[in-house]
Structure 1
Amino acid sequence: MPEPRVVAAIATLLALAVAGCSDDRSDEPSTGGAGGGTGSAGATGGSAAFELVATDDLSVSPDGDEVLADCWNGICRWDAAAGTLDLVADRGTVAVAPDWSTVATVDDGTVVLEDLDSGDTTAELTGLADADVTDGSPVTAVAYSPDGGLVAAAGQDEEGDQRLVLWTADGDEVATLDTSGEVHRISISREGNRIATAGNGPVEVHDLVKGDTLELPSGGGGTVAWSPDGELLLGAGADGQPSVWDAETWELVAELRGTRLHEAAFAPAGDTIALTSVDETSVTLWDPARDPRRATRLEGHTSDPGAVAWSPDGSVLYSVSDEDGVLAWDAATGERASTDFELPEGR
């Protein structure tokens, strides 16, 4: 099946179409069943359910002034200070460039890069297309490199085999790699020479210089994230727990037992990891070097949060859940910030 953020982008457009055709314009949105990072929801109360705000991706602008996520009816862009919402209707994303120049979308097996502001196509990245996929896109995950110069995508090729393809942001193919299973998360190292993946198999590290692939002792699911200096890799351990490996020796240096990793992001300074867990409404702050076995829980969401993102200076942490939308946290105190982020209107 397609990766959740790909499904979320498709669901955004479907929700718009349904809203336009329905005679039932309730003032209250129908939500539920869609937590845990999936953009597609089951039915609830006899009506089509959807996420007010998708939970698979969350991005902060390079100047820290805006926060971006997909919403059920378009791309939501919030003023980070005021929390006011600017809705870009009829559009969706599966990844956002670090410099906010472009966003990635998916058209069947093609990854399309669009200018964030204008919506104009800047590149089309081809190489993933399985003619047998009829219930969605053969693309299961997309990610930009930290400098925005590379884009990686995973999915099925024409033969139905699992592949990972790397392109320049201009559309030139750099590498095609085999993966051991379906990939749901991709993270490219700072130097762009190593790609970590997570999915229904173990965490894999693809070294483009050495030309080899390393399978880490890990379980399926969760996410992967390189530390800003590239010296650590976060992924799900054998039991799904957040685990940190040394990126040179590949020794396990820390793990947080009792938590099942969902989404995560390293703070800009690289010392603290913000993460969310499967079936928990709290957001976790974890400093593996200071205390590898304990963490701070931030309470405030009423539905399971997914993606997390830091302000450029690391002073503010943002998290997102389908019903609450975006919450902001003071990273130093762990307290909720005063800004309330406007929710999109319900259907």
Structure 2
Amino acid sequence: MPDTWLRVYPAPKVAGETIYSVIIRCVVCQLGLTTFLVLWTIIGVFIIQSFEGPQEEKIAKDFDKEQNQLVIDLATELRQITPLSPKWKQAIEKRIEEERRLTMLAVTRGARLNPGQFWDLPGTFLFAVYVMTALGFGAPVPYTVWGRTSALIYAILAVPTHIYLMVNASTCVVVNVDEYTQHLKAKLDDKTAKANSTFENTRDNPSHSRDSEFLKVSNEWKIRKGLRSILSVFCFGRCIPLATVVYYLLGLISFGVLRERTALESVMFPLEFTTTGGLERVESHVRILYGFYVEGAMCLLACALATLKRHSSAALADVTDSYRLFNTEKCEECPNNEERGKI
């Protein structure tokens, strides 16, 4: 079966085509799905933030107010007790227990012990990216009923649309990159073969062994051979391992080194973008950039899976055949497996 994927742009309109067919073609293509996903994400971000943002501010203000009231109550009670009396200890222990209970209750309702806010527009955008990519690593949880309902409705359409779009886009990218790589290799191999043939002929001719032509051909042959070796190294694994390392280093520099984090924090920069890692104190523009970074990482993962599916090795095929991991549709026209494999 040849590799197939959705068209990047909708196909041209044909004579007699209905407006309904035109709309379907425009929506169900990679550009149409991307537009729908972007608009759906913008709508979801604003709706979820409209519920969770005010609730987060209200919980934080109520928490501060109740803490201040506890301090006032403790000071009032201590003034009514004789100094150094045993009742001082009892009053302080009582207020400490009330503070612990109040803190636990406020945290369960979404309050933060440290100053900061997550449910602003950049934070909600990052939450939408976590939901859309089905990553969920360190993502916060909406606390209001309407916020959770909005997030669920957003996920019902965003998650399958994003997955389907990633599958088609990654297949399109992998196939085109493979074709370009093969074309580049073939072109380079052809030039290398010609340079090698010219080099051999020139070397075997004693009358040209010391000529400038021989040196020129020799240098060209060495350059072509070196380019062929470099291309083989960079194209190892269809460039996926190299792209993964480069992409991680880009995140390490952008979200660690440039933000003046320690060496360990820079290496483990994804941990900072979690609720327990202090995400509510991360700058708004950094949250937006990290959301796009996560989306790029998911695109890279989709390309890796598409490459693995398209170029599974013989060893992997042997393992799947040995343990009967896949179902294969049998070809009734082919008399045996060998001919079916050739087809």
TM-score by length of 2: 0.21
TM-score by length of 1: 0.21
Q: Which has the higher helix share?
A: 2
Q: Which has the higher strand share?
A: 1
Work out which of the two has the higher radius of gyration on C-alpha atoms and give 1 or 2.
2
